[in-house]
Chains A and B, each alone.
Chain A
């Protein structure tokens, strides 16, 4: 059984001018100890999906239908109090900006100890020892001394390590990491990526890694889901999606990333831009930008379908009728 199962999730934002569909019927699952990379451009619905899983969807956003199951138990629609206990204990969260996810008025020790005592039976002094262990584990030098520092006394990379320690407090089985390295410099990004990967291997923690940066995904993920305009365009093992993308959007996305090994004068690019939520076209949402679009693409919305590779599915009519036995 998968650790997290998302089934036909649809997230809507009712507005005065009609209902905006931010996430439209997406399904995926994450296994224990697996890193699922969710990649897409801004506005594709990646972060909203993450927020829905942890029950922090900002109103007026709401789950219109679909289920989110953690270890087989449905967690969407739970009362706030029950959800609060799951958040932190079973699902840890890492946000993009480490400065806003830490309280500037409390020492990091106080924040860690509070989180640990909330979710476990440890006493305050035991919790403090555990906090120091956690800080050591995420690579904060002189953790014993630094635990009584305030967030502003840390650099950006060190702050993000503290945030990761906070997410690990109650040993959750799943961590939702929303752009965890975007605010950091490249050399710090590399350190945080290897830290996340190490934690994932050592604790069998599953990570849902949300990012716009295909490079981060390539370094971390086991499987990749590519999102476009509120839908999953393609999902499959990292190597297959990166090396042999099936959906025309993924193909264009991979081609538009400049690569050092290649010397070309012009980058391939996808014409136009992703449509806003109020102007999603009929049929496949990618059809106006798609080089391969045909009639059916403009009329009917494709669901994820087999592409010939047993693990890789894509929402594209090109693969209609393809079976995985080919």
Chain B
């Protein structure tokens, strides 16, 4: 398997995941389980994911609800332990037990921004304490004056004023709250930020402000992002590489320009076709059919085959694996066999 990013001129990957999987055991009553002699049902939230994120770049992860996007975020930052697979940060294994003592230094370099700015900030804390918490936890400030200066600097950096530090979260609008969570996330000087739907709860005019801020911080601080969203236009705007997920698997990973101009996987094509047409060209599109199946009981073979327009017998039984196709990695038998036009 060749690596589509293998280019000696580009930077090295900051984060790499290999065969990452996270299964959740679903409890059913043990007595009925014994009587029916069925194994414990397992939800494969993510199953065998491999991708890399290059330093200073943004990797966009897109998919519909329930496809496992947020689980990927949580496994990478360490909120869930992976069931299988490896996470490498700067080439170092992150998720092995014997590295546990180095987690604190790792966590200061990897931070997360959550979707709902109303839920992710403690309503009883002042903004300056919210922002200072990571600095205190990782002991990054030498004195109280240094801490105060750092918080003021962070507030300015995200477009708020240092005097806002004395206020409480409820005094701010949704967009300003998301600025506060961004300030908190960058307060420990991280290299890597996981942004899980950071603009989904915001209105469009405010969304544009936050997207611009996220991009500006990347330029200024050299940040690397994993950016998760269900909104393809937002992912297109912010990403360098894009991965498309369906039912816990990656169907297609490609550089942004290629993914949006020459989508290969039938699911990617379907998703791109659902983007509302703001230029009112009135183009005809393939009608979308079906829904995402229940992930507890996914279809056999390729998980997309019941909705796929080019499915055949092989797709129903054999699970496709990601393979290089041009500059993209695509997990599709039809692409592999050149059955697509």
Which residues of A are interface residues toward B (Cβ below 8 A)?
A: 41-42, 155, 157-158, 185-191, 194, 212-216, 218-219, 238-239, 242-243, 252-261, 265-271, 273-274
Contact = CB atoms under 8 A, between A and B. Distances in A.
Top 4 nearest A-B pairs by Cβ distance? A215-B276, A256-B208, A269-B208, A41-B203
A187 B271 contact: yes
B75 interface: no
B206 interface: yes
Given A218-B280, A267-B208, A260 B233 contact: yes
B234 interface: yes
A259 B292 contact: no
9 contacts: A185-B64, A186-B274, A187-B270, A194-B287, A214-B276, A243-B280, A256-B204, A265-B215, A270-B208
B248 to A, nearest CB: 15
Given A188-B288, A267-B237, A273-B176, 9 more contacts: A187-B274, A212-B204, A213-B276, A218-B277, A218-B280, A219-B277, A253-B204, A257-B208, A257-B233
Interface of B: 64-65, 173, 175-176, 203-209, 211-212, 215, 230-234, 236-237, 260, 270-280, 287-289, 291-292
A83 to B, nearest CB: 32
Contacts of B271: 186-187
A288 B219 CA distance: 30
Contacts of A259: 233, 278-279
Contacts of A265: 215
B215 A266 contact: yes
A212 B200 CA distance: 12
B203 A260 contact: no
A155 to B, nearest CB: 5
B204 A257 contact: yes
A253 B230 CA distance: 20
A189 B230 CA distance: 12
Given A186-B230, A258-B237, A216 B291 contact: no
A189 B237 contact: no
Interface centre among B237, B260, B271 (most CB of A within 10 A): B237
B280 A238 contact: yes
B279 A261 contact: yes
Residue with the greatest number of chain B CB neighbours at <10 A, chosen from A42, A216, A257: A257
B112 to A, nearest CB: 22
A186 B275 CA distance: 8
A185 B208 contact: no
A156 to B, nearest CB: 8
Contacts of B274: 186-187, 189-190
B259 to A, nearest CB: 11
A274 B288 CA distance: 36
A216 B231 CA distance: 13
A256 B288 contact: no
A216 B205 contact: no
Nearest to A254: B278
A158 B234 CA distance: 27
A194 B175 CA distance: 32
A96 B228 CA distance: 24
A260 to B, nearest CB: 5
B171 to A, nearest CB: 11
Contacts of A254: 278
Contacts of B291: 155, 157-158, 187-188
Given A189-B274, A266-B212, A242 B260 contact: no
A141 B270 CA distance: 21
A252 B205 contact: yes
B195 to A, nearest CB: 15
B278 A215 contact: yes
A186 B232 CA distance: 9
Contacts of B279: 259, 261
Query: For B64, B270, B278, which residue has the most chain A Cβ atoms within 10 angstroms?
Result: B278
Contacts of B276: 213-216, 218-219
A42 B167 CA distance: 23
Given A185-B292, A190-B274, A212-B204, A260 B232 contact: yes
Contacts of A270: 205, 208
A259 B236 CA distance: 8
Contact of B230 (A185, A214, A243, A273): A185
A54 B187 CA distance: 49
A219 B175 CA distance: 27
B278 A257 contact: yes
Contacts of A157: 291
A242 B232 contact: no
A260 B260 contact: yes
Contacts of A188: 288, 291
B288 A190 contact: yes
Contacts of A243: 280
